[in-house]
Amino acid sequence: MRLMVTGAGGMLGRDVVAAAALRGDECVGLTRAQLDVTDGAAVTATVREAAPEVIINCAAWTAVDGAEQDEVSAFAVNAHGAGNVARAAVAAGARAVQISSDYVFDGTATVPYLESDRTAPQTAYGRTKLAGEHAVLATSTVHAVVRSSWLFGVHGRNFVTTMLEQADAGRREIAVVTDQIGCPTFTGHLATRVLELARSGRGGVFHAAAAGWCSWNEFAREIFAAAGVEVVVTETTSAELARPAQRPAWSVLGTERSGEVLPPWREGLAAYMALARNGSQP
């Protein structure tokens, strides 16, 4: 399969490119410096030259708090950029696979969100990601959107690296929220699922998050246990942290599609720690 991966310098993008290489796929990975997805003409020309069968768009504005302060710039990447990739794919006879987020939901549910559930983003970031979904799906019925949750991997900053850096700096007590629940998803596992969907030719919306769920507080405890470091994780709330963007209280993604659940989040953490111990750090 001939692939193009945009945002190939990011945490998920790097894992997608690596997983494609292991599968023997022909893959062109383009970082933001190599291709700015907000430049429609550049996207069209690059896709035409590369002639991929599938474009996996991992390019994204991921600064959730930053999007609250500059929604226009976030929209340019997450919505207009996604549309540019989708239209260029159609022009080249290719499919697009767009990576999206649990932030398209309002976070008030008590059971896992399914692909058909009503979207209602509560943040600028969520609005821009949902607009990107609409831009992609309106372009072609063969395009796919893959929503995931709480990503972590060895090729970028994330909650796991933040916790371990705190421990390395000598912190022995850290307050972590208990009122946000989600599915910590290892990008190595997600990358494999994204490639399976790319190969399948199926269009529409797909949820791909780790099986099971936990709070950030519980996740932090598991991280320190897996790393073998003694850090006391105390409880706090989202209100006490008072961040610019509201975080969803419930970020758990389920699926209506049989047999398409990723490995449990604890397995993802174990895989991450194994890679980290072998020196596969960002």
pLDDT band for position 242 (50/70/90)? confident
Does residue 224 contact residue 160 with C-beta atoms inside 8 Å? no
* Residue 176, both tokens: 């972590």
Find the Cα–Cα–Cα–Cα dihedral 209, 73, 10, 135, rounded to 10°.
50
**Per-residue pLDDT tens for 219-230?**
999 999 999 999
Q: Where are the chain's structural domains?
A: 2-157+184-212+251-263
**Per-residue pLDDT tens for 42-84?**
999 999 999 999 999 999 999 999 999 999 999 999 999 999 9
Task: Tell me the CATH number for domain 2-157+184-212+251-263.
Answer: 3.40.50.720
Closest CA to 235 of 217, 213, 215, 249: 217
pLDDT band for position 282 (50/70/90)? very low
**Main-chain phi, psi angles of 66, to 5 degrees:** -65, -30
What count of Cα atoms within 13 Å lies in the side-chain half-sphere of residue 130? 16
Residue range 90-96: mean pLDDT, rounded: 98
Q: Which residues contact 79 (CB under 8 A, 6 or more apart)?
A: 128, 131, 132, 134, 135
**Per-residue pLDDT tens for 3-54?**
999 999 999 999 999 999 999 999 999 999 999 999 999 999 999 999 999 9
**Per-residue pLDDT tens for 116-148?**
999 999 999 999 999 999 999 999 999 999 999
Strands 95-101 and 54-57, sheet pairing? parallel
Residues acting as catalytic residues: 125
Angstrom distances, CA of residue 64 to CA of 91, 128, 194, 212: 32, 10, 23, 24
Q: What's the pLDDT score for residue 259? A: 65
Record the pTM: 0.95
